[in-house]
Structure 1
Amino acid sequence: MIVRMAGMADVAALAELRDVAPGDLAAFAGWLAAHAQTHLPFVAEIDGHVVGAAWLHVAQRVPGNGSLDRWYGDVQSVMVREECRNRGVGAALMAAILAEARVRDLLHVTVHSGRRAVDFYLRNGFSHHRQILLWEPAAP
């Protein structure tokens, strides 16, 4: 298995993993190009085929606490093809994302997980945090 940062050559595979309609591929490619500095896609390949992907959203916090340069990350859209699950693909993607977070000296990395994936993130170094709060708008 190879895990690497994805590029424009991976647009079709990334779009498929995100259920982007074929007719929206050009718009998705444009979005990917426009967000290349803030949304970093990683892919896992087995035998030359993309079998999974995960994204690291990198954003800057307001300066303070003695620093003008405060960056953090958020893991987004982790997807592994069903036939490749439970083979270490997700863990390899997380290892690559967290290695990138260390290289970029991010303050922290968050993830908004579905219930089924919580244990996966806990196994990969994430922990519950008492200070993360969530607001959602009321249903119309």
Structure 2
Amino acid sequence: MVRRWSVAALAALCGVLIAAARFGDGAPGTAALLLGAFLVLAFVLSPLAFPRAAAEDDRPVVYWRPGCVFCLRLRARLGADADRLRWVDIWQDPSAAAAVREITGGDETVPTVVINGRGHVNPDPSWLRDQIVPAAPGATQA
């Protein structure tokens, strides 16, 4: 549990220390701005930025871990479509970490996406969106 929050906590702590130094230098506006920026960074790096894993269902699974920049990129690029996936934190679920190691040949490389029983390591977000978003009626496939 501590490992999941360590990167976010470190970002928040750095923000508090830097803001305190700026405040001590007589720049309260800069201090507030920096603190706000670091707290936003801490949120983005925390598990709160990802959808919560629901019970087992038929949605594709994304295995991720807090602080992973590639996971953050995938989450950000998918936007609202990220809710069409089941996000599983490998630092919280040991069986998920084992599944990732099996797919990747022993590494815990994330994001790893499983669609229809097939694993894809660090897929392109636009490719993944095409896999999870149904085609519009009347659209032709190229």
Larger radius of gyration: 2
Please report the TM-score for the alignment, with normalisation by the length of structure 1.
Answer: 0.27
Task: Answer 1 or 2: which has greater strand percent.
Answer: 1
Please report the TM-score for the alignment, with normalisation by the length of structure 2.
Answer: 0.27
